A and B are shown apart, each in its own frame.
Chain A
Amino acid sequence: MTLPTQLVLRAMLERPTHELYGLQICEASGLASGTIHPILARLEGLGWIESQWEDIDPRAEGRPRRRYYRFTSEGAESARVALAAAHTKVADIGALRTRPAGGPA
């Protein structure tokens, strides 16, 4: 499992029953917007997460509806197990998120 995928899962596991939309997941995971959608698509394909359109009337709200993501009933547990198996040190992930662009690896 790649580090970005772990970051997305960790971000979503912080509030596993909550729905998040793409930009919220970007912010929570520290990843760029272009990175998360392929990951979310794969997780959705695995059945770990599901997505649905925001239940609003865009005409009344005056804005487009968002696409919200959340874990499926089994997805959160599968994610926890996979993260545990990934043996990725939290410190490594923290370093990835805080490392300045062009800085040392």
Chain B
Amino acid sequence: MTDPTPDDLSLATARCLDMLGEPDLDFDLVYSDMRALFDTCLLLLRNGHEEAQVIGAEFIEGIVQAHDHDFIRGLARDLAGRIGPDDKRGHQFKTHCLDPTLDLAGIPADTVYTDPGNTLTADPTATASPQVAASPQVQVSRQARKLTGAATGLLPIEHRARYNEEFAAELWDLAAAGAGRRQQLAYATRQLVRALHLRAALTPHSLFNAG
């Protein structure tokens, strides 16, 4: 087996970021691929490829730019939950990939790793976070959030975080007003259906009329 090259890492990074944009994430696959990516990064650094560090940083920035706090918190919690107490490589992965991602997103790590609750279906015992519904009555549909995540994934990258957060707030407001899962999914579907119109509206000189 040949050693990986920076090009291999670049491709793997792009694949990972694409995968993180999928509406239905397979966390087993995400964990496996992100760990592999991290291991490749380490191996390249050991072989003297300093650019691996840059690519690793770009990967972390890519996650933060493309996703909102809900997503990043959920991802970090899920991935960290798979690291056993004696898993040294897993702890390295957490220290050098998950923690910097949370740090860049401005999310306190202790609120992620010590909160066993579901950030979207509020847990009254959980620590509230900037994007978390604290009221036990508010139930935001995960599927609806995935759909709005897919919708924002179609937008220019510089606008994704803003609309992710804006749609999350609107979904939360709908849920707080008593909207059930079906109504939330209808809201999210409408955002997805119109996402290309929004993209066109955000793109100067677009020929596509946003209506």
Task: Give the B-binding residues of A (Cβ under 8 A).
Answer: 2, 4-5, 21-23, 32-35, 37-39, 41-42, 45, 58-60, 62-67
Q: Is the CB of A33 within 8 A of B170?
A: yes
In contact, A37 and B191 (Cβ under 8 angstroms): yes
Which B residues are closer than 8 A to A by beta carbons?
A: 122, 128-135, 138, 162-163, 165-166, 168-170, 172-174, 176, 187, 189-194, 197-198, 200-202, 204, 209-211
Chain B residue, CB-CB nearest to A36: B194
Question: In the complex, what's the smallest C-beta–C-beta distance from A4 to chain B, in angstroms?
Answer: 6
30 residue pairs of the A-B complex, CB under 8 angstroms, read A22-B166, A23-B174, A32-B190, A33-B191, A34-B189, A34-B190, A34-B191, A34-B194, A35-B211, A37-B166, A37-B201, A38-B211, A39-B210, A42-B210, A45-B204, A58-B128, A58-B129, A58-B131, A59-B128, A59-B130, A62-B128, A62-B135, A63-B135, A63-B138, A63-B173, A63-B176, A64-B165, A64-B172, A65-B169, A66-B166
Chain A residue nearest in CB terms to B202: A41
Interface of B is mostly: helix
Closest to A5 in B: B211
Task: Tell me if B173 and A35 are in contact (CB < 8 A).
Answer: no
Shortest CB–CB separation between residue B131 and chain A, in angstroms?
A: 5
B193 touches A34 (CB 8 A): yes
Hey, which chain A residues are within 8 Å of B170, CB to CB?
21-23, 33, 66
Q: Which residues of A contact B130 (CB under 8 A)?
A: 58-59, 64-65
Bound complex: CA A37 to CA B170 (Å): 12
**B109 smallest CB distance to A (angstroms):** 15
